[in-house]
Amino acid sequence: MPKQGTTAPFVLRPRPAGTTLHSWLYQEIRAAILESRLAPGLKLPARKALARQCRVSLGTVTEAYDRLVKLGYLDAREGSGTYVRATLPDATLESSSPRRVLSARGRLLAAQSFPKLFPTRSVGTFRLDRPAPDVFPIETWNRLACRRGRRGRSLELLAHGDPLGFPPLRAALAAYVSRARGVRCEPEQVVVTSGTQHSLDLVSRLLLDPGDQVWMEDPGYAPATSLLRSHGAQVVGIPVDSQGLDCAAGRLRCPRARLAFVTPGGQFPLGMPMSHERRLKLLHWAAEAGAWIFEDDYDGLLRSDGRHQQALQGLDRAGCVIYSNSLSRMLFSSLRLGFLILPHAFIEPAAAALSITQRYQPTTDQDTLTDFIAQGHFERHMQRMCELYTERHRALMAAGRAELDGLLQFPDSQVSSQVVGWLAPDTKEAEAWRRAAARDVDTVALASLTIERAMPAALVFGIGAADARAIRTGIRRLGRVLRVLAWQTKGARGIQQKVPVRSTDDVLQQKRSPMERRPRSDPRSPSTAPGRSALSG
């Protein structure tokens, strides 16, 4: 005999005006099933009983039940009654994993998530993705935006834009980077994007096939590594030393790579610029191998020591360097604008690709930025940012000496938008980073930025977002965290052990194998723990 179920109590909500009796009854039963008010296996009232309860005809109940049976919500058992089915069509759809229907490229993309962002995090931390929002001249920006809106060109700005970017902005950017960074370009070579990630995505679409090898600095910019892997590229970590990317090691490990991603203006995250000798060797390798170089000049305009070299692209005579920069990183994060300087051969393919994938960037912000550059506001702001980064770098060094003696050392280094702090020997980097994040000290664990290389324990600090007072507060909090951790891991003698005075050069020249694999216990990605600091493109 069929298994008897428990008859379910059945409460119906009032029928909305204009709804037929059949639709109302069908929708109420279906909603009760989906909301688990009618659990799987429960027996529904008999048709005649429900018709009396609802004061509707037997035909109306029969029509609603039959429809729900046909759609898979109910199971009509002859001689027993009507039951809620154990497996529902909606539940089947919800439980099916998207991984089962993704393409090979889709699975790669889904597996390379961008580090989690914390948009509400206070500025009293050391985020790497905020360029001093407290000093941006927002009143000037708003005035320029309003003035543009009152001009006759306002209707033009509401029309379709150019896939390569707003032409006046492309001309302004070409003139500025030629003067400020020694880039050799014409306005038609400038392509406006939404930032470094978008720029690299466009270049990867145009240049890389699945399986192509790409040189990536190790340690380096983790979001770029994730994006390259999402395109099916084989990312090969090339160690860096005090002169930047080690070209000799790259030739040994992967002589026929298709692309190299480098940060020659200021290596991310260690900060040192690539030496002139290394630049020439890199260019020679690219010309010889028929490879391309993606130059991320994120820090090139923020150097305040007056010794920064011109962009790598300015030395290129073979046309193998693709120059990239992020305006969002220099101005304010939500601007979401960056740009590429492409070799002439890529201009038409890039225009075609962008016309398919995104059409064009928002024109109004590009128009405002054009005036911001043309009237000298951009250059004055960059000068102010250089001075500010110098001030905040000094504040971080002073606070570190005062609060972190024996726990963490900031080496003497050139001013950059981020600074590496080397932890005391035997300090567990992942635990130090996790506990610091819980106290709103938003750093990045150095191990999360490596590909294959084992590095001494360190934390990476951004110096753009926090003023001197916030820096001191954050370092005091970090000091308390590290002292507790030292007591717990080493006992009272642990906090008396000083961090050996060493520079970044000393660390990079340690005798351990530069390509020694990281122990499995080290964090592969900071996004696996709470309090992750952001990296943005």
Cα within 13 Å of Cα(274), Cβ side:
32
pLDDT of the residue at 397: 93
Q: pLDDT tens string for the chain (537 positions)?
A: 344 455 556 677 788 888 888 889 998 888 888 877 888 888 888 888 888 888 889 999 999 999 999 888 899 888 888 998 888 776 554 544 444 567 777 777 777 665 554 444 444 478 777 777 778 888 898 888 887 655 555 666 666 778 999 999 999 999 999 999 999 999 999 999 999 999 999 999 999 999 999 999 999 999 999 999 999 999 999 999 999 999 999 999 999 999 999 999 999 999 999 999 999 999 999 999 999 999 999 888 776 554 567 899 999 999 999 999 998 888 888 888 999 999 999 999 999 999 998 887 888 889 899 999 999 999 999 989 888 888 999 999 999 999 999 999 998 877 788 899 999 988 999 999 999 988 889 899 999 999 989 999 999 998 888 888 989 999 999 999 999 998 887 664 544 455 554 666 666 665 444 344 444 334 334 444 333 344 544
SS (H, E, C) 399-436: HHHHHCCCCEECCCCCCCCEEEEEECCCCCHHHHHHHH
Q: What per-residue confidence (pLDDT) applies to 507?
A: 67
Q: Is residue 422 within 8 Å of 408, Cβ to Cβ?
A: yes
pLDDT the model gives residue 521 = 38
Element of type H or E holding 201: helix 196-207
Residue 6: the pLDDT is: 54
Structural contact between residues 192 and 366, judged by C-beta atoms closer than 8 angstroms: yes
pLDDT reported for residue 234: 95
**pTM, full prediction:** 0.74
Q: Residue 148 has what pLDDT? A: 65
Q: Which alpha helices (H) appear in 295-376, and where do they start and end?
A: 327-330, 347-357, 363-374
* 19: exposed, middle or buried (Cβ count in 10 Å: 0-12, 13-18, 19+): exposed
- The shares of helix, strand and coil residues in the chain, as percent rounded to the nearest 5, are 45, 10, 40
DSSP secondary structure letters along 98-163: GGGT--HHHHHHHTSPPPP--TT--SSS--SS---GGGS-HHHHHHHHHHHHHSTTHHHHTS---T
- From CA 175, how far away is CA 179, in angstroms rounded? 6
Round to whole Å and give the CA distance between 293 and 271. Answer: 19
